[in-house]
Amino acid sequence: MADRATYERRRQRLMDLVGDGAVILLMAPPEKTRNADVTYPYRTSSDFYYLTGLAEPESALVLRPGSSAPYVLFVRDKDPDRERWEGRRIGVEGALGQFGADEAHPIEELEGRLSDLLANATELVYPVGENPEADRTVGEAIASLRRRPRKGKRPPARIADPHYSLHEMRLRKDEGELETLRRAAAITGEAHRAAMASAGAGITERELEALVDYTFRRRGGAGPGYGTIVGSGENATILHYVENDRTLTGEELVLIDAGCEFEFHTADVTRTFPASGQFSPPQRQVYELVLRAQREAIELARPGGTLADLHDRCVSILTEGMVELGLLEGPASARIEDESYKRFYPHQTSHWLGMDVHDVGTYSVSKKPRPLEPGMVITIEPGLYISEAEEVPAELRGIGVRIEDDVAITDGAPEVLSAGTPKSVSEIEQACRARLHDAEAS
């Protein structure tokens, strides 16, 4: 949790944005059942945490700019019996004291109090369609205002999506967020390094996944911010490979896409390395092509540039390389034109990154690619994926490479948050060799 002033500043900023008379309503997402009475590990929504620092389920936030008590929280009330089984709760006192709410109530009172809180709002900022139970509660409150027009009480004039206010704020990271993302990226780099030092014939993808997860948690992270991908050999050519159950032979490339979630912010880093510790010539050719594309794209990550510029640059370098490698017939310009490069590079180069791995924020403004601004954080992740089934030079089949870094836009040169993760051929081979020294030492 950041300091209280950070959340206070964010709430004030949002209230200034939407203006006096509006009401902002966010509800923590419900817990999800895995089976019987077992739930999935709970993680509240990023929007909710961003404004409150509160991670408990069954909570609701109401902000009423311009009112005398603008910050209202609904939380689970203290209950020693339930807490003994389910864990601690902040309770109404904690919401007022620890979290600084102007007003706090038990969550059970939300339904009864909501219509009064929403009455006469010029605008209700609320994410319709995210949570059916919450939608029902909001719908009821609005309907009751409409059905029984008590003296001077009307439903909100319109409903606005948080997309236009809150998500614009989250798109530009404050200094505290950048620092948190730096730490998430540093831990992530350590995990990738550990995996490189441990890979080799006989080890399974799952063991590498466990090592990554262990490194995240032992360094204070909450765990992975998204499903860790460990794809070896042909599996590296499957973009969102999740099984992670193959045993390495020692000849193949290993692609790991993994990011640590730290304080509700996640890194998103991919590295590809040889299980043997040394790239074979064809593996190295493909790797260095992707690396060149990635480095040139990073250079373009500056104010005024766009994610489309970065992607176009990658497509151009990768397609020329595909022609040189004999994957495609030249000329490259024709292969870009007819989009046949997508056979080996089917995805986009970048996405927003922050509290969520695919973070909030629109990618275009007035139908044009959005210009980058200082404080935005993006991934840059070109790749090349050549499945075994492709009719291409035999030595290239089954090679999948992706290289992904997390990059903060600044006033000047881009800041690569994940710069501590080995990336050049020599850095990677050195990180892989670390195991040999360990073995010799023991």
Active site residues: 37, 240, 257, 268, 347, 351, 358, 381, 385, 402, 404
When the beta carbons of 180 and 379 are compared against Mn ion, the nearer one is 379
Q: Does 263 bind Mn ion (CB under 5 A)?
A: no
Rounded least distance, CB 435 to Mn ion, Å: 27
Structure tokens belonging to residue 322: 């595909």
Cα–Cα nearest to 254, from 267, 265, 244: 244
- Apex 119 CA angle, 96 and 136, nearest 5: 85
Sheet of 103-106: strand order equals 103-106, 71-75, 60-63, 22-27, 123-125, 159-160
Q: Using CB under 5 A, which of the segments 9-17, 31-39, 372-380, 393-401 binds Mn ion?
A: 372-380
> Strands 253-258 and 159-160, how do they pair?
unpaired
Q: How far is the CB of 373 from Mn ion (least distance, A)?
A: 20
Shortest Å distance, C-beta 379 to Mn ion: 4
Is the CB of 320 or the CB of 405 nearer to Mn ion? 405
Minimum Å gap between C-beta 353 and Mn ion is 7
Q: Of the ranges 46-54, 101-109, 378-386, 393-401, which one interacts with Mn ion (CB under 5 A)?
A: 378-386
Q: Give yes or no for a contact between 353 and 379, defined as CB atoms under 8 angstroms apart.
A: yes
Sole binder of Mn ion in the list 44, 144, 266, 379 (CB under 5 A): 379
Does the protein bind Mn ion through residue 406 (CB under 5 A)? Answer: no
CA 6 to chain centre: 21
> Quick check: 268 binds Mn ion (CB under 5 A)?
yes
Nearer to Mn ion (CB atom), residue 59 or residue 379:
379
Tokens of 137: 């509660």
The minimum distance between CB 358 and Mn ion, in angstroms, equals 8
Beta strands at 265-266 and 22-27: parallel, antiparallel or unpaired: unpaired
Interface residues for Mn ion in 3-42 (CB under 5 A)?
none
d(CA 128, CA 347): 30
Going by C-alpha positions, the residue among 290, 300, 289 that lies closest to residue 404 is 290
Pairing of strands 103-106, 71-75: parallel
- Rounded-to-10 torsion of CA 283, 287, 288, 292: 160
Q: Between 162 and 383, whose beta carbon lies closer to Mn ion?
A: 383
Residues making contact with Mn ion (CB under 5 A): 268, 379
